[in-house]
A and B are shown apart, each in its own frame.
Chain A
């Protein structure tokens, strides 16, 4: 399986080099989407010293953490999304995938490595690097291990939520429009959870666990708040989210094949 994936990566790199202008402009564009939210904070912090107890650099750390996780998801896992699945189901590619003796979810993932995600990754590394330097966060072994676990968990959370939305395609077919709701929902991670009301904080912790992508983990690295050790929950929450979404996905496929539509 790894060999197959390596082959696909090679094919992708060839394609990027063929459309070199697209490659760089795409990465630049995604990089810009992250820059503008930094500009947003930069302007706001011209007028206030702290936002709900968060200084500018601390906010940078918070968003940098999410850029990094979104970057990995964007680069390696966007093969699974409502609009891709809609396209594959409508044009019959998905039915063909089901005939191959290979996990269809892995096929979807491996079929797509999106270079635009590099824009998120670069932004994430730059912002996180700058913020941890400004806040003099020392990358001790414990911090590095926790960062790795956080990113793995966060990527699982993002992937699982998108997978759940994609699963809806089996019933509603025209699911590409769900992205119009999905992406605004992801915007919740651009700000510290504590600016929202308790109901939304509850939702973003227990229902759509975006809080574990960056808010709870950031508390730990920045040494603030009562919920510091909730950072350790991120990989567990990611795993639970994946189990739930994957079960829904399996059920969706079973339903899809039995109706034969």
Chain B
């Protein structure tokens, strides 16, 4: 049942092939800009290693970060907004599905499509053109990406819930969340580069579970039993945000049923 939602979503996406191609070109331009910037930074420092990163480790970090980015930024908070504004929500609610889970499975179609049309090309082009390294521990990396994916899912879901309370748009809130996440998660710059006090604050927040943890595992910054400790952190955030999403959704659902959306 839920898998049908994913399959249908992929069919819908096929109509937007060229859009995904444009996004790939955009991501590659972005990556090129950052490649030049970090080359200049390393040249300016005169050092081979900055904060434990060689230039090639840094480039690998950027490439993998640009691969995770499109996977998690599907923009489904706007889908939630659309559901609420157009009344599509009531149609979904008449079906024997849970709305948050319905949205997760719908989101999978975007993830799969993005994986094929953006992530794989970015990664393959980077391997061919610039020297990037492969994950130190692929299985652990994969697990941490998946855990981070769901932590991020609930953060975005909570942003989308704003549509139930505001007559305006979720756009501003969503962009703000994303900008804060870009810095605090290590998506833009590894947390290792920040002053200690800043990195310490970032480690207390959920954002780092999406980029910092998977990327640290990818590069072998963290190995052995410590990886397990990171998974625990991710799971704790997953549970907290999952429950929070559930409660907020329950309140929102009641609001819709009582007021009729």
Contact = CB atoms under 8 A, between A and B. Distances in A.
Interface of A: 19, 21-22, 25-26, 28-30, 32-33, 35-36, 39-40, 43-44, 46-52, 116, 174, 176-178, 180-181, 183-185, 187-188, 190-191, 195-197, 200
Given A21-B168, A177-B19, A177-B22, 17 more contacts: A25-B172, A25-B173, A29-B172, A29-B173, A29-B175, A32-B180, A36-B183, A36-B188, A40-B189, A43-B194, A44-B41, A46-B193, A185-B29, A191-B33, A191-B36, A195-B40, A196-B36
Contact of A19 (B19, B39, B167, B189): B167
Contacts of A28: 172, 176
A174 B50 contact: no
Contact of A178 (B22, B45, B194, B195): B22
B19 A29 contact: no
A39 B26 CA distance: 22
Nearest to A178: B22
Interface of B: 18-19, 22-23, 25-27, 29-30, 33, 36-37, 39-41, 43-45, 50-51, 166-169, 171-173, 175-176, 179-180, 182-183, 188-189, 193-195
A134 B27 CA distance: 35
A48 B175 contact: no
B18 A177 contact: yes
Q: Residue among B171, B176, B179, B193 with the most chain A CB within 10 A?
A: B179
25 contacts: A21-B166, A22-B166, A25-B168, A32-B179, A32-B180, A36-B183, A43-B189, A44-B41, A44-B189, A47-B41, A47-B51, A51-B41, A51-B44, A116-B172, A176-B19, A177-B22, A180-B25, A184-B29, A184-B33, A187-B30, A187-B33, A191-B36, A195-B37, A195-B39, A195-B40
